[in-house]
């Protein structure tokens, strides 16, 4: 099994983190997040979005979108609840992450820490994205206050999906110490047996 | 069961279209897509993203995110395949819709047709979003060429999710006649018994 990967990508890290917990073995092929010019050649036919992560199974079938990949491996394990409402809640947080959280927090982190381009290039959009990122963090904090996990009584794909970019949000300048419930939850996720770091 | 709804929203339409196919009854409460000032009061505690669609079940439990809501009702019906890989493919297209397709096609449509604000306000971002929308449509066209449905041999949640904003993309100025496979697929979705229009 082959994962087209970018090591700094939180979207790819979701897949790597789940597969580490499940002890599933795979090969990696690293693609650049800054120079994406080779992606149509490499990912065309494998993933309509031409993005990483893209997974190729041993039989040649492929799958794109971090949320779809972790659902594929997560169903039937402790990371996807059996209860239909809790399953839908896990997906609610995963869609929230892709629509509200990632386009703000991951994008600002990429601009400032990984794009190789000067901050001024993004100046006219930075405040809007920072505000959107803080709105997403506010929503997480309200929900996590008094809870150990996003859904139910244990870690699920929802926690893996939100952990990925939240735990490196400071690289985009987000001040996480405003959010005690999020900080405690980040430590809880990282303390789970089988955890691996984003650079592992 | 109560759906917080905006009639023009494709995200809400996904829910209405699936529930029509499944013959599930519900009440609607209409919220404005232009004036969103009352949303924290109404949706706070129900949906961390404070957006429509938000569904409140008869027992008071709530669910946000169109993808999570249609998954909740779709699992166990003909709209979600049994095969694990096909299930993940359905989610791949649903995440693609929320990450690549909706933020381009739905946003341009909203700006130009529903925001009540002049086109000039969006001038500096319009070209980028139009290009992103056409990239998403290109990906759909490549995949649908030679296929009847996005996943497998029948209509799934993937088709419902992508149909919602694709069939009204012209309201954002997108020229769908460049895409014969998409046009044929749109007609196929609309011809399914039980179909309802976005304004129904």
Condensed to tens digits (0 to 9), the pLDDT of residues B160-188 reads: 999 999 999 999 999 999 999 999 999 99
The verdict on a CB contact (< 8 Å) between B85 and A68 is no
What own/partner pairs with CB < 8 Å and gap ≥ 24 does B170-175 have? B171/B109, B171/B112, B171/B113, B172/B105, B172/B106, B172/B108, B172/B109, B172/B110, B172/B111, B172/B112, B172/B113, B172/B130, B172/B133, B173/B108, B173/B112, B173/B130, B174/B105, B174/B108, B174/B130, B174/B133, B174/B134, B174/B137
Tens digit of each residue's pLDDT, chain A (200 residues): 999 999 999 999 999 999 999 999 999 999 988 788 899 999 988 999 999 999 999 999 999 999 999 999 999 999 999 999 999 999 999 999 999 999 999 999 999 999 999 999 999 999 999 999 999 999 999 999 999 999 999 999 999 999 999 999 999 999 999 999 999 999 999 999 999 999 99
Distances from the Cα of A189 to the Cα of A21, A181, A186, B72, angstroms: 11, 12, 5, 26
**What confidence score (pLDDT) does residue B160 get?**
98
What's the pTM value of the predicted model, to 2 decimals?
0.97
Q: Are B111 and B117 in contact (CB under 8 A)?
A: yes
Say if residue B45's pLDDT is above 90. Answer: no
**CATH code at A2-74:** 3.40.30.10
The verdict on a CB contact (< 8 Å) between B99 and A98 is yes
Condensed to tens digits (0 to 9), the pLDDT of residues B82-123 reads: 999 999 999 999 999 999 999 999 999 999 999 999 999 999
Q: How many whole angstroms separate alpha carbon B164 and alpha carbon B167?
A: 6
The verdict on a CB contact (< 8 Å) between A85 and B99 is no
| A84 in contact with chain B, both atoms CB, cutoff 8 A | yes
**What confidence score (pLDDT) does residue B18 get?**
98
The residue extents of the domains of chain A are: 2-74, 84-190
**CATH code at B84-190:** 1.20.1050.10
| A61 in contact with chain B, both atoms CB, cutoff 8 A | yes
The verdict on a CB contact (< 8 Å) between B72 and A87 is yes
From chain A, pick out residues whose CB is under 8 angstroms from the CB of B86: none
């Amino acid at each position: 099994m082959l994962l087209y990967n970018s090591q700094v990508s939180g979207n790819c890290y979701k897949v790597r983190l789940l597969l580490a917990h499940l002890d599933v073995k795979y090969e990696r092929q690293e693609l650049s997040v800054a120079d994406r010019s080779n992606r149509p050649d490499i990912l065309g036919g494998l993933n309509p979005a031409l993005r990483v992560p893209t997974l190729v199974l041993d039989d040649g079938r492929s799958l794109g979108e971090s949320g779809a990949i972790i659902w594929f491996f997560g169903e039937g394990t402790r990371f996807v609840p059996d209860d239909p409402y809790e399953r839908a809640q896990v997906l609610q947080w995963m869609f929230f992450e892709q629509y509200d959280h990632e386009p703000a927090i991951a994008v600002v982190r990429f601009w400032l820490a990984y794009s190789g381009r000067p901050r001024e290039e993004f100046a006219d959009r930075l405040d809007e994205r920072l505000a959107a990122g803080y709105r997403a963090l506010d929503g997480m904090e309200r929900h996590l206050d008094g809870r150990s996990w996003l859904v139910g009584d244990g870690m699920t794909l929802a926690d893996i999906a939100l952990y990925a970019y939240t735990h490196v949000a400071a690289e985009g300048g987000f001040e996480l110490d405003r959010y005690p419930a999020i900080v405690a939850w980040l430590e809880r996720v990282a303390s789970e047996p089988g955890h691996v770091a984003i650079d592992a």
